[in-house]
Structure 1
Amino acid sequence: MESNKSIDINAKISINKNITMGLQHVLTMFPGTIAVPLILGNALNLDQETVTFLIAANLFTSAIAIFIQVIGLGKHIGSRLPIVLGSAFAPLAPMIAIGSEYNLPTVFGAIIGSGVLLFLCTFFMEKLVKFFPPVVIGSFVTLIGITLAPTAFTDLAGGGAHMPGFGDVKNLILGFIVLMVIILLSYFGNELIKNLSILISIVVGTIISIPLGLLDLSNVANAKLFEFIIPFKLGFPEFKIGAIFIMTLFCFVNMIQCFGAYAFLEEVTQHKTTDKQKIDGLRGQSIAQIFSGCFNSFPSSMFNENIGIIKLSGIGARSTIITAGFIILGISLSPKLCALIAAIPKPVIGGATLGLFGTITAAGISILSSVDFRDNANSIIVGTSIALGVGAEFASDALSQLPSVLSMLLSNGLFVVAFSAVTLNIIFNFKKYFKKEM
């Protein structure tokens, strides 16, 4: 497809083409979406039954988020653009931290509380966006991949020192085979294969795990074929101010990243996105986040890889995204399918997510490539904020004597990099931001 060819987002296409394109969108968003509950479950040592439910709930709320975004609610919620939403990685680290410090109900309370605050923020978003230029967003996204990599590597080795067989050679070999499959497909495959490389690697790794005795399907046989997702199944949410504050910071940056998705979609479709559509889309995302917390699920994010599918196929009709939403909804209502996903061996998930987190780091570096490093201020912002973030993340014991809420904040590398990058950026660009008020 030529880059200057416009794509009609309201085109009427056949049922067969809707289903075909919908499936392709589902396959593309699936690896990233199921990774979040799997990683969180492993990090918090949750049992497989709970992880199975988290996967189902996550898929269910992803479908609802798509409907809210693409179809819309009323006049001011939802962008009405062909955008696929799935699990966001930006809030994953604070979810793990909050879950480790407290419990799952506190995680969901933080998601709901931050969703309400973010909805209120959308009424002032145009004034806040200026404080998050590429030098800030790029530093933040780069550190997302770096801070999540140890979690992936732990899974690759078997899931943690408490797990039998942790560090076993067969775990390491399996995990690195999965990673190698991703690398080979990403380098040698066509655009479609590249988009599906993580999903293909998971399938290959799971098949290899069978003769190694690492695949346990006992829960699949006992799982129901069909079950409705009900709210608050894992307990009524608990609301703690510190947890809500942390979650709001990370989810706010996650919302800022949506402007990158809007820009990419404009480039692909040649369809100008209005400021109203952008803000309405952010409102839709915050409403979807509140809904997710009520159904024991996680914040969502706009998936750039699915916009890549639109670019590859030349088909960007909203109806294909709505079809994808219904397919995802159907999968979420089958505990047996979700149990099958939850049974994927930890080394397979570790190898796949290690590759995924590598691409997140690369995406952050790509954002930073647009930054003018000839300006010494930008070098200081990036270098200092990332160094502080890495130090806080991997030497968190140094802050253990601080009050608990402060310790949780400052020992989270992503909070530190976001706070320090925003603060330094304001200091170095104070006149640019506030000259009108002075």
Structure 2
Amino acid sequence: MAKHPVDEVLPAGRLALLGLQHMSIMYAGSVAVPLIVGSALKLDPATIGLLVNADLLVAGIATLVQAVGIGKLLGIRLPVVAGATFTVVNPMILIASQYGLPAVYGAMLASGVFGLLIAKPFAKLIRFFPPLVTGTLLLVIGVSLLGPGAAMIAGHDPASPDYAAPSHIGLAFGVLALLVLFTRVLRGFANQIGPLLALAIGLVVAIPMGLVHWDGLGAAGWFGLASPFHFGAPAFPVAAILSMCVVMLVTFTESTADMIAVGEITGRPPTDADLARGLATDGVSAVLGGVMNSFPDTAFAQNVGLVRMTGVRSRWVVAVTGGILVLMGLVPKIGAFIAAIPEPVIGGVAVVMFAMVAAVGAQNLRTVEFSGNHNTFIVAVALGVGLLPAFAPDIFKHFPAWLQTICGSSITVAAVLAFALNLLFNHLGRRAEPDLLEAP
């Protein structure tokens, strides 16, 4: 019996290049979390470097577990790449400011245990995540990520003299043009590594432009990893634990949508047992993060887009990505080399990957029946309200901190609304009637 494409083990050279490609796509997004948190808490560069190393190590372990699996306990066994979730940024900063970093990692430990306990019950809700819900959520994820993608290209500080520099934008669009060209003219394996080729050429072009800085490579050590509980014994304030448990629920919701999308793309839709193992891995990553001074992980949407774009469905490719991330976490010099790739180069490819996630969501919605029901209304409300934090990040800044954790994320708001409205209109007292937004 022929192996399913998800289980296919490709030749070693292809595995290495395709795994490297997945890592290149997710790297900037993953390390952004420790960089943002470290800078906000005014940690010294050496400590921020340790956070980055720990982040890569835990993300690598989680990615390996998701791809390979551990018995019937952990890992969805799909090409799912794990990376630090942005949902954790504000809660971590708020908790650290009020209680200190030991409380951050104590709360993260507790939230990881909470995640392990609720993974199986949460996975049972998969029947309430039909294409109407997952399609809307993926659409919101893809669109909301375009903001960070644009920041990679233009810069993060509008007051900076080189913000939106034509050379940076031209470089990003040049990389994007190469990606389009490679996708159109290349065939076979060369087509599958088109994004990696575009990144490599973009890096070479960026060197004479003065955008590639090798200082970090020389300063980075050959081995570097923070010891467990680097900031001291963990503390467990109740408010901090509750906040991080909310983060875990948000992480589960995002991962659920991404895992279902990967299952549909690869032709192996996850069962509730598969999903439970995948979500439990998110819980384990939070436990590991609490011990190793890292961050909770979620399934990375841009890598979902890459699977869709390249058509490479093997989970062993992603296992190689996990191995590379572990190596980078243990050997800072490797991470420093990847970090030298300018953000406009990565952004030129990343915006396509982000938009690909939105396109997958739109494809899901094509299978939804919109006649004689309120499904168009459900999508409109979830999309409209869900995207508010993406376009107005400070819209909820005067609300309590715990509510900001929920409402400050477009993904969370859209997930809650799509899930709740689907229940309200399609499960509770369901009755057929014309959609309020249906054209006459």
Match of 1:421 in 2: 418
Which stretch has the larger CA shift, 212-221 or 398-407? 398-407
Q: How does 1:27-426 map to 2 (within 5 A)?
A: 27-40=20-33, 46=39, 53-69=50-66, 72-73=69-70, 75-79=71-75, 81=77, 83-88=78-83, 91-92=85-86, 94-98=87-91, 101=94, 105=101, 112-190=109-187, 192-228=189-225, 230-233=227-230, 240-241=240-241, 243-257=243-257, 258-267=259-268, 276-295=273-292, 296-301=294-299, 304=304, 325-426=322-423
Q: Which moved more, 1:142-151 or 1:241-250?
A: 241-250
Q: CA distance change for structure 1 residues 261 and 29 in 2, over 3 Å: closer, same or farther?
A: same
Alpha-carbon displacement from aligned partner over 1:279-307 (angstroms, at most 9, x marks no partner):
33443443234224433144142865787
Q: Distance in 1 between matches of 2:146 and 2:199?
A: 17
Write the distance in 1 (CA, Å) between the matches of 2:191 and 2:107.
35
Question: Deviation at 1:102?
Answer: 5.4
Identify the match of residue 22 of structure 1 among 15, 40, 43: 15
Q: 1:155 to 1:416 in 2, by over 3 A?
A: same
1:165 positional shift? 1.8
CA RMSD of aligned residues (A): 3.8
Q: Secondary structure at the match of 1:65?
A: helix
Please tell me whether the aligned partners of residues 38 and 51 of structure 1 are also in contact (alpha carbons under 8 angstroms): no
AA at the equivalent of 1:87: A
Q: Please state how far the C-alpha of 1:72 moved relative to its aligned partner.
A: 4.6
Q: Distance in 2 between matches of 1:375 and 1:237?
A: 54
Note the C-alpha offset of 1:278.
4.7
Deviation of the 1:85 alpha carbon: 3.9
SS of aligned partner of 1:376? coil
Say which is worse superposed, 298-307 or 253-262, in terms of deviation: 298-307
In percent, how many aligned pairs have the same letter?
23
Go from structure 1 to structure 2 and tell me whether the alpha carbon gap of 1:234 and 1:149 turns closer, same or farther (over 3 Å shift).
farther
Question: Which residue matches 2:433?
Answer: none
Give the whole-Å Cα distance in 2 for the aligned partners of 1:402 and 1:237.
Answer: 28
| Residues 76, 275 of structure 2: 8 Å contact kept | no
Shift of 1:273: 7.1
CA positional deviation for 1:335:
0.9
Shift of 1:276: 4.2
Paired residue total: 415
Judge conservation of contact 1:262–1:278 (CA < 8 Å) in 2: no
Q: 1:45 to 1:9 in 2, by over 3 A?
A: closer
C-alpha separation in 2, matches of 1:308 and 1:68? 21
Deviations 1:155-182 (A, max 9, x none): 2113323544222222222222223223
Cα distance per residue 1:177-215 (max 9 Å; x no partner): 223223333344335345433333332222222111121
**What is the alpha-carbon distance in structure 2 between the residues aligned to residue 112 and residue 158 of structure 1?**
34
Amino acid at match of 2:216: N
CA distance in 2, matches of 1:241, 1:420: 24
Code of the residue aligned with 2:299 in structure 1: it is: S
Structure 1 CA distance for aligned equivalents of residues 305 and 358 of structure 2: 15
Which whole-Å CA distance do the structure 2 matches of 1:159 and 1:255 have between them?
27
Change (3 A) 1:374 1:172: same
* 1:313-357 CA-partner distances (Å, limit 9, x unpaired): 9xx696x76666545433432211101112222322333322222
Unmatched runs of 5 consecutive residues or more in structure 1: 434-438
Deviation at 1:112, TM superposition (A): 4.2
Task: Flag structure 2 segments of 5+ consecutive residues without an equivalent.
Answer: 431-440
Amino acid across the alignment from 2:82: S
Q: Which moved more, 1:296-305 or 1:164-173?
A: 296-305
Q: Summarize deviations over 1:122-174 as a string: whole Å, max 9, x none.
A: 23245322222221122112111222212221221133235442222222222
Give TM-score scaled by structure 1 length.
Answer: 0.79
> Using the alignment, how far apart are the partners of 1:331 and 1:387 within structure 2?
40
Residues 241 and 31 of structure 1, relative CA distance in 2, 3 Å threshold = same
Q: 1:380: Cα distance to partner? A: 0.9
